[in-house]
A = this chain, B = another copy of it.
Amino acid sequence: MKRSRRRSPTPEARAVLSSAPDKSDSKIPGIKEIAQAAGVSIGTVDRALHSRPGIRAATRAKILQTAEQLGYRPNLAARYLKLSQQRRIEVHLPQEIASFFDPLRDGIRHAAAQFQPNLEVEFRSYPRIGQGEVESIQTFLEHDCDGIILAPSSLSKISPLIRKATARGIPVVCVATDAPGTDRLTSVSSDPFTSGAIVAELFTQLRKGVREVAIVTGDLSTFDHSEKVRGFRAMLSDLNSAISLVEVAEAHDDYREAYRQTCDLLARRPGLGGIYVSTANSLPVIKGLEDSGRIGTISVVVTDLFPELVPLIHTGKVFAALYQRPLTQGRMAFEALYHFLMEGIRPRPVHKLPPHIVLRSNLDLFIENSVVELEG
């Protein structure tokens, strides 16, 4: 009597419950119930369930079977409580670009807060991509943590570290961009190929006058950046688009370089109808457009979403933004790592998120959501 605070349904009520599973009154089976049913002790049950040594094959088989037919599900709360071995994961991400990596960290923090038990998350941030990342990540060698989340921006330098970590049994999850060919546990990123393709489609379908489009990117040796160009090209040919990609300028995520390149580009291309900025470095490009007086005549599609873009999208100076959903990336990266560590569930090898297409009509919703919550 004392355990059921809920009054048990009357027979009448029970009859009405079309889909109510008739669990009768049997309490939820635990390892104790299995032991009793199989006529052994709970220690033996544990050995059987976890394939531990020191048990006869026959005993194990019998226990496994009764567990099965009792529909045993381990009580995770109890397990986590017992195994309070306070696991710890490290998150190595750059400070810059903050508009992307800050919400990515928030996504991880938020997810971690939900799952609380036994997992301490430690954020270790280095100044920017290509500056201090190796030093930051290397430290895992010293503090043997249980898992790592990182952004493998410069593949050649980070891949060996990923391999080393994996060799030590420390799973690594890549975010923001992938490190293919390494044995990372999984990767979570906005799919760059699709990003490029979307922009090509938008220009083709929504900007009928446009013939010449240029891309301003960061560095084509970065996987993410070159994939966007590849996706753009692929979609143009898929659609038999009237548009041609006339230039791809590399600005190396630098404000002044992007500004200069944009000015040069505009001078060279009087017929330019569109620009796709495929990194977060869009403000200097817009400044260049404004300074040259061509801001209204050229359609601009940018990447990521930050406060300065809001009025630009509202006024139509920027036609669309591709939002790479850093909060969601953080959440998914954490969940994948968490489930692997706690339950041994191996996630699928790659998670490609569709980027959100932000237009004037849906802009407000993104602003509302990105502030507090996990962005939907």
Which residues does A use to contact B, with CB under 8 Å?
3, 5-7, 9-10, 13, 16-21, 28, 73, 75-78, 80-81, 84-86, 88, 114-118, 122-125, 139, 142-144, 191, 194, 197-198, 200-202, 205-208, 231, 235, 238-239, 319, 325, 328, 332, 335, 339, 348, 351-357, 359-362, 364-366, 368-369, 372-374, 376
Complex contacts, A368 vs chain B, CB 8 Å:
352
Q: Is B142's CB under 8 angstroms from A365's CB?
A: no
Task: Give how many copies assemble into the complex.
Answer: 2
| Pairwise interchain contact B373-A351, C-beta atoms closer than 8 A | yes
A77 CB contact (under 8 Å) in B19, B81, B351, B376: B81
A325 to B372, CA, bound (A): 20
Taking a contact as CB atoms under 8 Å apart, the answer to whether B76 and A142 are in contact is: no
Q: A354 and B362: CB pair below 8 A?
A: yes
Residue of B nearest to A191 (CB): B365
Taking A85-B5, A122-B20, A144-B6 as contacts, is the C-beta distance between A75 and B117 under 8 angstroms? yes
Does A116 lie within 8 Å of B376, measured CB to CB? Answer: no
Closest 10 CB pairs of A and B: A13-B142, A197-B361, A77-B80, A353-B376, A201-B361, A77-B81, A354-B365, A77-B117, A205-B206, A198-B361
Cα–Cα, bound, A51→B235 (Å): 62
Please indicate the chain B residues that have their CB under 8 angstroms from the CB of A125 in the complex: 19
Find chain B residues with CB under 8 A from A239 CB: 360
B124/A198 in contact, CB under 8 A: no
Closest to A316 in B: B239
With both beta carbons as reference points, the residue of chain B lying nearest to A202 in the complex is identified as: B206
Q: Would B360 and A201 count as touching, CB distance under 8 A?
A: yes
